[in-house]
A and B are shown apart, each in its own frame.
Chain A
Amino acid sequence: MTCVGASNAGKTAREGSSAENNGVGPRHPSTSELQARTRESSWSRLGLSEGDVHIWCAPLDKVEATPFLWNTLSQQERERANGFLLKRDLRRFVVGHAYLRGILGQYTGISPKDIPLASETHGKPSLGGSWEAKRIRFNMTHSTGLALFAVTLDRAIGVDLEGVTRTPGLEEMAARYFSKPERAYIEAFRGLRRRRAFFRVWTRREALAKGMGRGLSGLLDSDLARCDCSQKSTRIGDWQIEGLDNRPGFEAAVARNGPIKRITPKEITEVALLAERQ
């Protein structure tokens, strides 16, 4: 299957043609049919099919939080932005969420400012609106000025990115929160490589926790300790967790509640993505 929504959309149009047209002359598609075709072409154009994961990467510090980006956000997002204590965090939030809306607009055919963002029980962002839109599942993460957005079809997804920065107390955290195999994996390295190993374990756990959407209380879930970090790919129940080939100085991972057939990196350049939707 490449896309259930796409094949259904095509079927609806063909059936409609037969029922309403009675074989006499061309028929104009209805608005809903045109919208369904737009979504189909959006997915197809971006090459997203079942089992695919798209990873969009965006620098957050190279773009200013312009009025244009600000106006892309919902009232709720603007209120949240105004609650940030540091200007740098506010700017990163505005730019990151404008990018998120721009990306989701690419998949749904909906204008970025009209993207119907919703929240699951523990606050995990999701898409509201039509059932076709809800098929697009996504998750976002950011760290030290870089953001990742993971997009897939139909299955819950989580992504995490961490800058491998000098963070005091990592060994103490590993001792308190990580399992014996996880600690053994980290302790096999020395110096900077050990720090990277910590964040490799952390991002896999965090991607899975975010995918599961259990909120803060899910951070210490025993399932998280079952990732095998010595492998790039690992399965825990229905979840597949993949380490991402990331930028120097970062560790990242993605978890999908189903098999991952292919991971495709997508690059955002400047704000062309947003401008394109205008």
Chain B
Amino acid sequence: MLSLSGANSDRSMEDAIAAYIIQEIVAGKGPLKLEADTPLLASEILDSLSLLKLVLFLEKQYGIAIGGMELVPENFETIGAICKFVRSRLKTKG
């Protein structure tokens, strides 16, 4: 599990999630650059299947468990939102 503190850790989490989405979900369907505020749900980069695949990655990568009630657009709309959500879950985890 990663140690997360400071801007570098934030950046590495963003990069890791962006890399996962591009390699495992977009997977060569087109040229794409994902920023922290790129819409993922509205642009259908993430659909329900790929969202649950991403959840598995986050659970494994950051050692957290994500429940159904946490699957809301506010937590997954952008990479920035996902990082914020994961960080909040890591804090709760202590």
**Interfacial residues, chain A to chain B (CB-CB below 8 A):** 80, 83-89, 93, 162, 167-169, 172-173, 176-177, 202, 206, 209, 215-221
Q: How far apart sit A176 and B70, CA to CA, in the bound complex (Å)?
A: 16
- A–B pairs, 29, beta carbons within 8 Å: A80-B42, A83-B39, A83-B42, A84-B44, A85-B30, A85-B32, A86-B29, A86-B32, A88-B29, A88-B30, A89-B44, A93-B44, A167-B49, A168-B24, A169-B56, A172-B56, A176-B56, A177-B52, A206-B49, A209-B48, A215-B73, A216-B48, A216-B51, A216-B76, A217-B68, A217-B69, A219-B51, A220-B71, A221-B68
Other than the given A85-B38, A216-B71, A221-B68, 19 more pairs (CB < 8 A) read A83-B42, A86-B32, A88-B29, A88-B30, A167-B49, A169-B24, A172-B56, A173-B52, A173-B53, A176-B59, A206-B48, A209-B48, A216-B76, A217-B68, A217-B70, A218-B68, A219-B52, A220-B68, A220-B71
What chain A residues lie within 8 Å of B32 (beta carbons)? 85-86
Centre residue among A83, A84, A85, A168 by max chain B CB count within 10 A: A85
Q: How far apart sit A88 and B72, CA to CA, in the bound complex (Å)?
A: 26
Return the 3 tightest CB-CB contacts between A and B, nearest first: A220-B68, A86-B30, A216-B71
Nearest-neighbour CB distance to chain B for A255, whole angstroms, equals 14
Q: How far apart sit A220 and B59, CA to CA, in the bound complex (Å)?
A: 15
A85 touches B56 (CB 8 A): no
Q: How far apart sit A142 and B53, CA to CA, in the bound complex (Å)?
A: 18
What chain A residues lie within 8 Å of B49 (beta carbons)? 162, 167, 202, 206
**Interfacial residues, chain B to chain A (CB-CB below 8 A):** 24, 29-30, 32, 38-39, 42-45, 48-49, 51-53, 56, 59, 67-73, 76
A173 touches B56 (CB 8 A): yes
Nearest-neighbour CB distance to chain A for B29, whole angstroms, equals 6
A215 touches B72 (CB 8 A): yes
What chain A residues lie within 8 Å of B24 (beta carbons)? 168-169
If A83-B39, A89-B44 touch, whether A217 touches B72 (CB-CB below 8 Å) is yes
A89 touches B76 (CB 8 A): no
Q: How far apart sit A80 and B41, CA to CA, in the bound complex (Å)?
A: 11
Centre residue among B42, B49, B56, B70 by max chain A CB count within 10 A: B49
Nearest-neighbour CB distance to chain A for B20, whole angstroms, equals 11
Nearest-neighbour CB distance to chain B for A67, whole angstroms, equals 22
If A168-B24, A173-B53 touch, whether A87 touches B30 (CB-CB below 8 Å) is yes
Nearest-neighbour CB distance to chain A for B51, whole angstroms, equals 7
In the complex formed, the residue of A with least CB distance to B25 is A167
Q: How far apart sit A116 and B9, CA to CA, in the bound complex (Å)?
A: 47
What chain A residues lie within 8 Å of B43 (beta carbons)? 83-85, 89
Q: How far apart sit A218 and B68, CA to CA, in the bound complex (Å)?
A: 7
What chain A residues lie within 8 Å of B56 (beta carbons)? 169, 172-173, 176
Nearest-neighbour CB distance to chain A for B35, whole angstroms, equals 11
What chain A residues lie within 8 Å of B51 (beta carbons)? 216, 219
Q: How far apart sit A217 and B73, CA to CA, in the bound complex (Å)?
A: 9
Nearest-neighbour CB distance to chain A for B90, whole angstroms, equals 20
